[in-house]
């Protein structure tokens, strides 16, 4: 019952660490606080005010009497990682510690290389540390539904049975990632699969959909425990962006035709999924894959839902379709399976029940913190991005409002 949450100062990691602590686990957080650093470098900020990690943990202890250990450092530093693991001695490693933004990975070559090195090396270090000192530890790794892409067949949970030339086999589901970030997650999956096979490690990969919501039972206890609400063009999600735009009277910005369909889930379900995976661990040598989402929506669907919910708050909302900065299908088939976590007992929260309470209410409460310069797309997947960005030494914005290029530090994200 000892869970080390790597990346525990980030959005999913923070909520998970508090939830596990509240459920009686002995919890540690390992983080190098780089998520905060990237906001500073990009000149953006989460809508909600986030206290320093030490103050957050102190407040948690004051409210609950529970202590969460803190290890500040970088998982790409193997000596630090190994020393921290030996000190904490986890039975479960919950791994959120990666650069998790697709747009961030697409800014330029530098950010693409950083994302892949940071994410893949960090995960490899964890696997080797487990092999050397904690071979019975269970790795619960945050993957992404974005590994699959948008195939014209049903998406299974990690594996697919294939018949070819009269023979059958069950193989990892084909991957069609849509960014250099998503590619890094595919590499992670392959490395974890291989490590489980050759070293007998146990791991669960949670291919998560888009997470929404600010409030969990634990983060709602005190404002010092509040979670992030990112809406900017690099780390924000479409749903978050729509809610902020509704709160300040800005048209909802739908990229392209709006038919892009994805899996979504409430942050309260994220923490519950993590606990279900931990409480029902994989077997030695097993690499399990669970698709972690509860509902499927298109971007256009999300805009209409926000418009309808905003009307209940007397907010008038318009919808605009912008040129799509991403290279992706805007109308496509998408049918993904998600039965494994439901079979373990997940009881989902639905978006219609969460929009007002866990998104729009926060968007209106903190609307004075909105930076209107950050709510439009700032990174393009298209080739002309090379001409739009500025040099690494320029602190201004590039043409068309593109993000100035800055050298990412060699640190592990959360």
**Catalytically active residues, by annotation:** 144, 181, 185
Contacting residues for 171 by C-beta, under 8 A, at least 6 apart: 159, 160, 161, 162
- From the list 353, 375, 372, the residue with the least C-alpha distance to 242 is 375
Please state, as a whole number, how many other Cβ atoms lie within 10 Å of the Cβ of residue 79.
9
For 333, list phi and psi in degrees, rounded to 5.
-80, 140
Please state, as a whole number, how many other Cβ atoms lie within 10 Å of the Cβ of residue 277.
25
In 330-401 the beta strands, taken as DSSP E runs, fall at none
What is 270-331 written as a DSSP string?
HHHHHHHHHHSPPPTT-EEEEEE-SEEEEHHHHHHHHHHHHHTTT----EEEEPPSS-S-SS
In 89-236 the beta strands, taken as DSSP E runs, fall at 92-95, 138-144, 159-164, 167-172, 202-208, 210-212
Sign of CA dihedral 368, 371, 377, 379: negative
Alpha-carbon distance of 312 to 309, in angstroms, equals 5
Contacting residues for 319 by C-beta, under 8 A, at least 6 apart: 251, 252, 254, 303, 304, 307
């Amino acid at each position: 019952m000892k869970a080390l949450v790597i990346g525990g100062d980030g959005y999913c990691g923070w909520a998970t660490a508090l939830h596990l602590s509240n459920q009686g686990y002995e919890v540690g957080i390992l983080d190098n606080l780089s998520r905060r650093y990237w906001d500073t470098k990009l000149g953006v900020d989460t809508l909600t005010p986030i206290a320093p990690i030490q103050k957050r943990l102190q407040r948690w202890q004051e409210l609950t009497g529970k202590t969460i250990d803190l290890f500040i450092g970088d998982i790409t530093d193997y000596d630090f990682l190994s020393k921290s693991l030996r000190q904490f001695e986890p039975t479960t490693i919950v791994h959120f510690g990666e650069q998790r933004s697709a747009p961030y990975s697409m800014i330029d070559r530098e950010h693409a290389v950083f994302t892949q090195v940071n994410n893949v090396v960090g995960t490899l270090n964890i696997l080797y540390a487990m092999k050397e000192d904690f071979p019975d530890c269970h790795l619960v790794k945050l993957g992404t539904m974005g590994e699959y892409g948008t195939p014209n067949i049903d998406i299974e949970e990690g594996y697919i049975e294939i018949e070819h030339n009269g023979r059958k086999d069950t193989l990892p589901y084909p991957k069609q990632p849509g960014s250099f970030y998503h590619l890094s997650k595919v590499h992670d999956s392959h490395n974890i699969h291989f490590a489980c096979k050759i070293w007998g490690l146990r791991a669960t990969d949670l291919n998560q959909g888009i997470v929404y919501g600010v409030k969990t039972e634990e983060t709602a206890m005190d404002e010092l425990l509040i979670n992030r609400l990112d809406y900017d063009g690099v780390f924000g999600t479409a749903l978050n962006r729509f809610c902020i735009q509704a709160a300040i009277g800005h048209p909802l910005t739908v990229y392209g035709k709006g038919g892009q369909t994805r899996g979504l889930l409430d942050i309260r379900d994220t923490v519950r999924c993590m606990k279900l995976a931990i409480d029902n661990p994989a077997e030695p040598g097993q690499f399990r894959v669970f698709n972690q989402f509860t509902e499927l929506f298109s971007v256009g669907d999300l805009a209409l839902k926000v418009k309808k919910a905003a009307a209940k708050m007397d907010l008038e909302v318009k919808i605009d379709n912008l040129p799509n900065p991403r290279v992706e299908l805007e109308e496509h088939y998408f049918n993904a399976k998600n039965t494994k976590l439901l079979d373990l007992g997940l009881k989902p929260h639905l978006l219609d029940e969460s929009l007002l309470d866990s998104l729009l209410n926060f968007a209106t409460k903190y609307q004075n913190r909105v930076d209107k310069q950050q709510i439009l797309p700032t990174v393009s997947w298209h080739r002309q991005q090379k001409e739009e960005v500025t040099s690494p030494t320029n602190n201004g914005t590039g043409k068309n409002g593109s993000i100035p290029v800055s050298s990412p530090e060699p640190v592990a994200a959360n």
